[in-house]
Structure 1
Amino acid sequence: MASNWKVFRQKLGNSWSQLPYLGRSLTLVWQAAKKWTIVWASLLIIQGLLPVATVYLTRQLVNSLVAALDVGVSRENVIPILILVALMGGVLLLTQVLGSFLNWVRVVQSELVKDYISALIHKKSMEVDFAFYESAEYFDRLHRARQDAFFRPTALLENSGSLVQNGITLMAMAAVLTQFGVWIPAALLISTLPAFAVILNYSKQNYNWWMKATADERRSWYYYWLLTEKDSAAELRIFELGDYFQSAYQSVRRKLRSEKVKLAKNESLANLGAGAIALLITAIALTWMLWQVLLKRLTLGDLALFYQAFNQGQTLMRNLLQNLGQVYSNMLFLGNLFEFLDLSPQVIDPPTPKLAPTNLNQEIKFENLSFWYPGSNKAALENFNLTIPSGKIVAIVGANGAGKSTLLKLLCRLYDPQQGRITWDGIDFRDLSIQNLRRLITVLFQKPVDYNASVAENIALGDLLAIAKLPEISNAAEAAGAAEIIDRLPENYHTLLGKLFTGGVELSGGEWQRIALARAFLRQAPLIILDEPTSAMDSWAEADWLERFCQLANGRTAIIITHRFTIARRADIIHVMSDGEIVESGCHDELLALGCRYARSWKTQMQVN
């Protein structure tokens, strides 16, 4: 017995621990839709009182009808009956009108809340460290947050509203039933307690299952994406992978479905048992009332009032406890949303940022820098030192995994090093605000985003603060070698790119890369970083682009990460990386004369070409 009591107290404690989410959820709703929430609350209170008026009017009507039948129908006793009928009709009409109005208010409120919470999720997604996007745990959190964001807060609000409305009506009904005996409201409560226990128990079980199933849910969505998206369509057809991924999808879905169906079956059986107990108690109470009528201690009007009040009271009590269970369930799930919104980035602005420079006058230095990725025991860079002089084109070459992309991420301050520092003309990157630092840099990533927007917008996204006009956009396109591509498009700079929306035009990989280069060139930043800038270009296009780039980068500092030595040879300085270290440095001719790693790789690549 003591053990059972301990378990009950533990479950109760777990339930109470979720209560702070109720306050935060209601605050979210209030911030998103203040006026509509006031209207919503007012309508709930009115609707909560209307059923009591209906019950009282029913008793009066039945008693008036019985009295009229006893003395005979006449004008004097028919008029009060008609007035009662009219009042009941008015109450029912008002209930319908308020119900329709409340549904409209709920839709408006729901849409406002959805948009508000979406904005919070988007903002947090941009605030969290880049490291979160390289973590499976982060994607589990994001998946759960997104799943809950669009309906849980409004569902919680609706449940809470129903709880208030049903609570008001139930208290009034309990007061009505008390006149027949104090035990009647108690019986009403007892008849619904088993259903409440079922709701609480299975709310927790459903939540635990959903938490456990998150990874499988994401995997099923991944397979679904592979089977339906353009990016994978060609490869799935060529390698005949459709059946394989369909089978994988069905296998995961079969597992999830089996677990969910089993849980639903057990919950249905538990609800059936709880319903049988409620029905038995209702039968006992109704039998007692019939007996009182037969003894003429109560009237038929009293019986009608009792039946309506008890029946409605039982429904209300069941709904009330169900609302409590749903509030609890929604609070459990909303914990995931608030857990996501409470994530704190580690890469942050300093308390008092230094004034950002407008140019690179001397150098960028990596000083005794050590860095390892979160969750990794192996350092990606250790005691790393490198100087990037201003006004030079610097190429960084090396095999995959040498650490080249890590340098890019650190330069963009997507990560902070655990030891050492990076400086810009002697200023530690961490002493500058993140926004101001990134405004000094323009980047072409190895896999740039293909935005489904117009050509002009695609390029203008490189510097939204500059509010670029068509001449500036055109100059950037010319510098990237994209002008000829754009001239061939049906609406030139106003052509919609990509096939996601109607009327869009698809480009080749190399053409998309030219557009991305133009976007990077539009931002007039003192530091240009290019990660494999010609990976999707043929050799003729690469030679043309290289000439243009050398002219564009004149007087600015550029870092090119590349596997192509035909690109690297045009750099002022070439650094060869291996296992997180710089193993060779110099210009192209110097490295060839050295006869080491770079020279061997150059000869191999030239023979292949």
Structure 2
Amino acid sequence: MWWETGVRARAEAGVFAVFAELPRLVWTALGISWRADRLRTGVVAAATVGAGVMAAFGLLATQRVLVELFAGGPTADKVRAALPALAVLAVLAATVALRAGMGIATGYAQNGLTPRVSREVERGLFEVSTAVRLEAFDADAFADDMERASRGTESTIGLVQSSMNLLAGLAGLLAVAAAVIVIHPLLLLALLVATVPNAWASLRAGHLRYQTYTAGSVRRRRLWLLHKLMAERASAPELRSYGLRRFLLDQYDRVMQVETDIQLALARRVTTTTTVGAIVGGLATGTVYALLGLLLLDGQIPLAAAATCVIAVQSAQRSLAIATFQVDHVYTEGQHFGDYTGFMNRADAYLPTSNGPVAAADPDRLRELTVNEVSLRYPDRDDPAVDGVTLTITAGQTVAFVGENGSGKTTLAAMIASLRAPTEGNIEWNGRPLPDWDVDGLRARIAVVTQEYHKWPFTAATNIAIGDVDSEARQDRIEAAAGRAVAHDMINELPHGYETLLDRTFARGQDLSGGQWQRITAARGFLRDAELLIMDEPSSALDPRAEDALFQTIRDRRGRATTILITHRLANVRHADRIFVLHHGRLVEAGTHADLVATGGRYAELFALQAAGYDANLAEGHQHSPTSH
């Protein structure tokens, strides 16, 4: 899939490509940190640079002291000659407390950056995930990419902290390198030979870990799904009634066996890589010391320089241990952060299109809604879900979309609600295509009661109030909407009335039956009193009395507002001004109930099937009734 090409390219990058990428990753981390908190970022940067400068001066002062002490002449004269350098060392020694304080300040600043960076990055992800069009969630690889992007938000914190620590380690290395160049330029080459092997091994190990992580997205999602199935309340009843415990545990064992084998193979490869790096690094360090001995015997460098170089190599190895560890972390966390930034960039293709510098107009009150040869094809589907549908709805009408399962009713309604964009044709609001109107203004005039409603983990009042978040959530409006949805009395019977939390996973939370949830959902749709109300199977779980009251509320909207009904219970749409019959995505019939029954087509057949069931039940009831004898 094209969606995965960016991730695959990163996973297949070589170790040398990582070196080229490190500056960009560090710069990105610094940019994130700077935007999140400039003061704390400045403190960390100043402390890091200051520590490096003091380390360089300390090494150079040590070298100068040794040069003077190893020089010829009386001891007293040598000590007096070394006094300036000793004074520098004394000053630097006095700054040990200052360096410790700088370390504390750095730690405090980094800890303060963590929540700020996390908020900025995570909120950016949620801004995109809540703005993309619905078709983004139809893409096969979108869920995998989203999962990796979520991991990337966590890695941003690690990337920022590791980048700061890496800069501290590099500052120490640069200080040593500067001192070594002053002593003897050839020693710099020896220093590189001693430090590069471990750095390469760490980068290679991080690269192997990231490749394994990238390949495991599907396994992680499957494990997450199995965790939910085995541990959540929603699946608990069927798990027990169908005896699924052993089946699900077997599924878990299979996935975890594959994951365990992969992790063990990764551990072997990483251990081998780091061991080879340590061995080569040890040999290289020995070579450096041998080179120092040769240069000393050959008279190329004085004894003081050689002694200083030994100190420099040890200091470099300490700084290298920090830098190498952080390079591994910067690279690994940077790759995960790259998943985040890659997702954000690719998600742009799914964001609603803009009208450019010209602001889209706010829609007028609905007069006419026109669907012109509209089609929609889902990804990887051969047949279109909606195929060339044309229809017109006039303001104030109550219309119905009917048809068998999979006929395209819900998809057509989603396009009318501007939740999906047609792949062909267009939909017009008052003669103007939907994309030409301001999308927020358009959706403010439309309310949608979905068939697959979400059980929001809020109070009953909030569950209704979210139907119109732009208006004041007054209690009288909420209760009026609940009354129209036959939900008011039911809510008052809950332990805390409208303030009852509708989620059993929290203390004092309550759960509702399917029919009760459906009333809450309908109330959410009624709260806005929208010009266009779309109700998709609003009564599938309601008892007959509640269903009759709900449809009476819907009928009361006729002539005042527009309603689109989607239902399989055809008796509820007999009073609709217009009934549109869909079959395999195509509009096959349209008319009033009387017209369609008289035509004797598909609608008449479906209505007769349902009516026959009721008639048979009624007849059977009369036969067994005492008054029928």
Q: TM-score range by the shorter chain?
A: 0.7 to 0.9
Does the 8 Å contact 1:412/1:441 carry over to 2? Answer: yes
Q: For the aligned residues, what is the CA RMSD?
A: 3.5
Is there any run of 5+ residues in structure 2 with no aligned partner, and where?
1-11, 615-629
Map 1:368-447 to 2 at 5 A: 368-447=373-452
Q: Which residue of 1 aligns with 2:601?
A: 596
Contact 1:19–1:331 under 8 Å retained in 2: no
Name the residue aligned to 1:5.
none
Amino acid at match of 1:42: A
SS in 2 for 1:461: helix
Q: 1:65 to 1:457 in 2, by over 3 A?
A: farther
Pair 419,282 (structure 1): closer, same or farther in 2 beyond 3 Å: closer
Is 1:32 the counterpart of 2:36 in the alignment? yes
Q: Report the residue type matching 1:530 in the other structure.
A: M
What TM-score results when the alignment is normalised by the length of structure 1? 0.87
Work out whether 1:103 is the aligned partner of 2:123. no
Residue 208 of structure 1 pairs with residue 211 of structure 2: yes
- The answer as to 2:585 corresponding to 1:580 is yes
Measured after TM superposition, the shift of residue 291 of structure 1 is 9.6
2:9 corresponding residue in structure 1: none
| Equivalent residue for 2:362, pick from 356, 359, 376 | 356
2:261 maps to which residue? 258
CA distance in 2, matches of 1:486, 1:553: 27
Asked if 2 retains the 8 angstrom alpha-carbon contact of 1:452 and 1:501, the reply is no
Q: Letter of the aligned partner of 1:110 in structure 2?
A: T
Deviation at 1:221, TM superposition (A): 1.4
CA distance in 2, matches of 1:14, 1:382: 49
SS in 2 for 1:110: helix
Measured after TM superposition, the shift of residue 223 of structure 1 is 1.5
List runs of 5+ in structure 1 lacking aligned partners.
Answer: 1-7
Correspondence for 1:562: 567
CA distance in 1, matches of 2:22, 2:68: 51
Q: How far off its partner does 1:529 sit? A: 0.2
In the TM superposition, residue 11 of structure 1 has moved relative to its aligned partner by 6.2
Give the whole-Å Cα distance in 1 for the aligned partners of 2:178 and 2:424. 71
**SS of alignment partner, residue 386 of structure 1:** strand
The residue correspondences of 1:188-587 to structure 2 (distance < 5 A) are 188-286=191-289, 305-342=308-345, 343-344=347-348, 345=350, 347-351=352-356, 352=358, 355-361=361-367, 363-552=368-557, 555-587=560-592
TM-score (norm 2): 0.84
In the TM superposition, residue 475 of structure 1 has moved relative to its aligned partner by 0.9
Residue 149, structure 1, aligned to residue 132, structure 2: no
Following TM superposition, by how much is the alpha carbon of 1:22 offset from its aligned partner in structure 2, in angstroms? 4.7
Q: Secondary structure at the match of 2:234?
A: helix
Could you tell me which amino acid in structure 2 is paired with residue 214 of structure 1?
Answer: S
Change (3 A) 1:190 1:63: closer
Q: Deviation at 1:356?
A: 3.2
Alpha-carbon distance in structure 2 between the residues aligned to 1:58 and 1:251: 61
Q: Deviations over 1:242-269 (max 9, x none)?
A: 2222222232222223223212222212
What is the CA–CA distance in structure 2 between the aligned matches of 1:374 and 1:23, rounded to whole Å? 38
Q: CA deviation at 1:125?
A: 0.8
**Following TM superposition, by how much is the alpha carbon of 1:478 offset from its aligned partner in structure 2, in angstroms?**
0.8
| Matched position secondary structure for 2:216 | helix
2:49 to 21, 38, 45: 45
Residues 37-79 of structure 1: CA deviation (Å, up to 9, x unaligned): 111111111222344566578789999999xxx999xxx9xx9
- 2:570 alignment partner AA: F
Distance 2:522 2:65 in 1: 82
Corresponding letter in the other structure for 2:377: W
**Counterpart residue identity of residue 284, structure 2:** I
Shifted more, 527-536 versus 590-599: the winner is 590-599
Taking the aligned partners of 1:252 and 1:429, their CA distance within structure 2 comes to 46
Partner AA of 1:360 in structure 2: L
| Other-structure match for 1:4 | none
Partner amino acid, structure 2, of 1:256? E
Q: Any idea what the Cα deviations from partners look like across 1:309-334, whole Å, max 9, x if unmatched?
A: 32121232354355445434443332
Contact 1:479 1:552 (8 Å CA) reproduced? no
- The answer to whether the 8 Å contact 1:192/1:318 transfers is no
The code of the aligned residue for 2:221 comes to R
CA contact (8 A) 2:26 2:163 kept: no
- CA drift at 1:483: 0.6
Tell which deviates more after alignment, 420-429 or 20-29.
20-29
Contact 2:61 2:88 in 1 (8 A): yes
CA contact (8 A) 1:350 1:432 kept: no
Deviation, structure 1 residue 15: 5.6
Aligned to 1:3: none
Corresponding residue pairs, total: 593
For the 8 Å contact 1:513–1:536, the answer to whether it is kept is yes
140-149 vs 176-185, greater mean Cα deviation:
176-185
Separation in structure 2 between the aligned mates of residue 596 and residue 324 of structure 1, nearest angstrom? 72
